[in-house]
Chain A
């Protein structure tokens, strides 16, 4: 507590014209002169500029100011700036208060008179409040130098490798049996037509071999506790029924399995391919360790099987049918969330006939068909095994549609062009690409569009309204080879100005990218917000694109919004760099606004204890009072609001400070 009389310095910022054009800054500064405790009041063009800060520092020294109020932008932007300036001039950094007259007044108010009134109220509130501020010590906490990366797609792989190459320990958690994510499913990547596996698998192997990366596949993050610098993460590891450390990845067990035919749908192939009860998603899987499906394995379901797999494994003896789910706990200092996306399920759009007509496919299914490692070894075939002669591609399925997702998924036009190119390359088929707008903003994208146009793909500008089988048309127009299975795409060709009925054998739906089904659970576990479509929310759309509202939690890849591989990799490296900057700093400042107990006032009623979600409050049984552990307290202040005797208090948000703020808000205008 400062005993000397109040000498508050008030500074009103013009912010160029951002504030000054709506608020009469001169009148506002004049108004502040008469507020209690104000020793000096100025207005200046840019308070955040160097001269602005110098002005503050000089005044603090020259006029012995002992409190500071800056009426400018949001404290989320420049509170730290003015706290530092105060500290530079020898004033405790917590004796500063900002009045938000830009985001909350000048930018949102039309009427100049009302804007001045509101600005006066906010400024008076800040002046009254700062009078009650106290000097506080800054608290720091050590950062545990290890990073958790959640999700083993290209984003997680890239972030993990960057961190590991910098010599930092990484825990990489992936829920599928192998890392690789969606990228591992693709055959080629646009616009360069790089083979996806050729560029991805070296990185996957590097993850496996890197001594700094601990790879936990077939695992989920169960819970996250703690906060920036010292998170405690519980990881649930599902049983593979195979000891990962014993398996050499020879895959002989798969041949040895008593099921001679692979008859269960392989989810990695979007159900188009099949697998046995012991399986790997794809040949280059990392780790190259099969998993046993407990739902269909005879040994596990019936406890009785000839165990051809175990026999094939032989001396390696890697099978463990008694393996149980385990929970492992790790301490980390920072977290990168890279949980990716899922594709839109088009069966909810009845007129596209997905799930009804067998030859209507999603783009991801066709990726698997075209992939040499896929269910047809790269041959584009229809359900009956024949090769399509005409293929229709429908853009924007589930996207740019008020009924489904209003946003654009950014990658669909390009992957549709890529699919069109691959189909032209591998088959003789005619390709009709029905688009609303062709969106190709990216390096080499427009050139790729031109190339595909020149390859003879037909582009139809219009939205497809209906898919029907040829038979139901009954107009004898069907001249396709497989007339019985052929489909008619009804499309409004906006360039020709006519409705066209285009007969095709195969329809490919370029489906939207959307948040994972469990995205809401994931973001809640990590304390991340989301935007309206459910993608994870970055701290600032322009200036903090990989940070989140939770310090120490960063975002990478399509979990933050639909994006292509280059953008994902760039964002993953940015997230890795941010995590690196954080853990290399070694320590981080704790929130100053923690709660504390006035021992003389606490009656030991325990009201506060149950309210704390961080278990920061305990009861000292000897003294019969509550005690708050400042290292665990996050500073929400809920206990303070609930304390019936007023013994629980909060730094920077005391009852007195808020009451003064209220008085200021209500009393002068």
Chain B
């Protein structure tokens, strides 16, 4: 399958106040962008549970985008900073599990940036197209190493979190 034939499945988590409104604005302005991004509304990018991202990949997504308000502009004061940290953590996690961390992208788009959001979606879809299909669930079965890596991460995490009495 060539790059252009591949229709990736991309899930985009958009925050209600900035980026979802930006996507509405892109619509109102009839700005065309890739249909391969499917949108889920959350109140804040801070609501994006790491499990949402992993679940999306497990369900067959080839890329996941999280979009929130610009740093400093969060409707909930500072929750997008927490997203920023989680994004870093998730990229690390994905990398360790043998998934290209570039399949996850964090984008800031204000309510006024419909055009920008559309461009960001297009550029992300193009990047995912370049990476090719993830086929994670299929890979998962045949490639036991990933499960081992995941177990290792969980183990490390448990150790790090252990609170001394």
Chain A: residues with CB nearer than 8 A to chain B? 74-76, 100, 102-105, 107-111, 114-115, 117-118, 121-122, 125, 520, 524, 527, 529-532, 537, 549-550, 593, 611, 613-614, 634-638, 640-642, 650, 653, 655, 658-659, 661-663, 665-667
Report the Cα distance A103→B38, complex, angstroms: 13
Query: A666–B18 Cα gap in the complex (Å)?
Result: 25
Q: Which residues of A contact B32 (CB under 8 A)?
A: 108-110
Query: Which residues of chain B are near A667, meaning CB under 8 Å?
Result: 59
- B30 — which chain A residues lie within 8 A by C-beta? 107-108
**B52 and A642: CB pair below 8 A?**
no
Residues of B within 8 A of A529 (CB): 17-18, 69, 73, 110-112
Of chain A, the residue at the smallest CB distance from B12 is: A104
Encode B35-67 as 1/0 by CB contact (under 8 A) with A: 110111111101111111001100111000000
Shortest distance between the CB of A626 and any CB in chain B (Å): 16
B28 at the interface (CB under 8 A from A): yes
CB distance from A448 to the nearest CB of B (A): 33
Smallest distance from the beta carbon of B52 to chain A beta carbons, Å?
6
Determine whether the beta carbon of B38 is less than 8 Å from that of A118: yes
A613 touches B42 (CB 8 A): no
CB <8 Å contact, A641 and B26: no
| A613 B110 Cβ-Cβ under 8 A | no
- Is the CB–CB distance between A662 and B52 below 8 Å? yes
B37 to chain A, nearest CB (A): 8
- By the criterion CB–CB under 8 Å, are B40 and A104 in contact? no
**A524–B51 CA distance with the chains assembled, in angstroms:** 31
- CB contacts (< 8 Å) of B86 on chain A: these are 641
In the assembled complex, which residues on chain A have CB atoms less than 8 Å from the CB atom of B3? none
CB of A613 within 8 A of CB of B40, answer no
**Given A524-B72, A662-B40: A641 and B48 interface contact (C-beta under 8 Å):** yes
> B110 to chain A: which residues have CB within 8 Å?
529-530, 537
Q: Which single member of B43, B49, B75, B82 contacts A655 (CB below 8 Å)?
A: B49
Residues of B within 8 A of A611 (CB): 46, 79, 82
Q: Which chain B residues border A532 with CB–CB below 8 Å? A: 112-113
CB–CB B43/A613 < 8 A: no
A108 to B27, CA, bound (A): 6
Hey, which chain B residues are within 8 Å of A122, CB to CB? 38-39
| Residue ranges of B at the interface with A (Cβ–Cβ < 8 Å) | 9, 11, 17-18, 20-21, 23-24, 26-28, 30-33, 35-36, 38-44, 46-52, 55-56, 59-61, 69, 72-73, 75-79, 82, 86, 110-113, 118
Judge whether A666 and B79 touch: CB under 8 Å. Answer: no
Which residues of chain A have C-beta atoms less than 8 A from B40's C-beta? 125, 658, 661-662, 665
Residue in chain A with minimal CB distance to B33: A108
> Tally of A-B residue pairs with Cβ under 8 A?
144
Bound together, the chains give a CA A655 to CA B50 distance in angstroms of: 11
Among candidates A74, A614, A650, residue contacting B27 with C-beta atoms closer than 8 Å: A74
| List of A residues within 8 angstroms of B113 by Cβ | 532
B112's contact among A537, A634, A650, by CB below 8 Å, is which? Answer: A537
Additional A-B contact list (17), CB under 8 Å, known A107-B27, A537-B110, A662-B11: A76-B24, A100-B41, A103-B27, A104-B27, A109-B35, A114-B36, A115-B35, A532-B112, A549-B75, A549-B111, A635-B43, A641-B48, A653-B47, A658-B49, A659-B51, A662-B40, A666-B61
Given A74-B24, A114-B35, A611-B82, A653 and B43 contact (CB-CB distance below 8 Å) = yes
Q: How far is the CA of A104 from the CA of B31 in the complex (A)?
A: 10
Chain B residues lying within 8 Å of A613, measured Cβ to Cβ, are: 76-79
When distances are taken between beta carbons in the complex, the residues of chain A under 8 Å from B79 are 611, 613, 636, 638
B59 to chain A, nearest CB (A): 4
CA distance A293 to B43 in the complex (A): 48
Residues in B whose Cβ lies below 8 Å from that of A636: 43-44, 46-47, 75-76, 79
What 7 A-B pairs come out closest when comparing CB atoms?
A: A103-B27, A637-B47, A638-B46, A636-B44, A636-B76, A114-B35, A666-B59
User: What would 7 A/B residue contacts be, using CB atoms closer than 8 Å?
Assistant: A100-B24, A108-B31, A125-B40, A524-B72, A529-B18, A532-B113, A661-B40
Is B35 a contact of A111 with CB atoms below 8 Å? yes
Q: Is the CB of B82 within 8 A of A638?
A: yes
Decide: A550 near B75, CB < 8 A? Known: A109-B32, A667-B59: yes
The answer on a CB contact under 8 Å between A653 and B59 is no
Q: Which residue of B lies closest to A591 (CB)?
A: B43
A524 proximity list for chain B (CB < 8 A): 72-73
Compute how far the CA of A395 lies from the CA of B50 in the bound complex, rounded to whole angstroms.
54
A378 to chain B, nearest CB (A): 42
Given contacts A593-B43, A613-B78, A666-B61, contact A103 B23 (CB under 8 A): yes
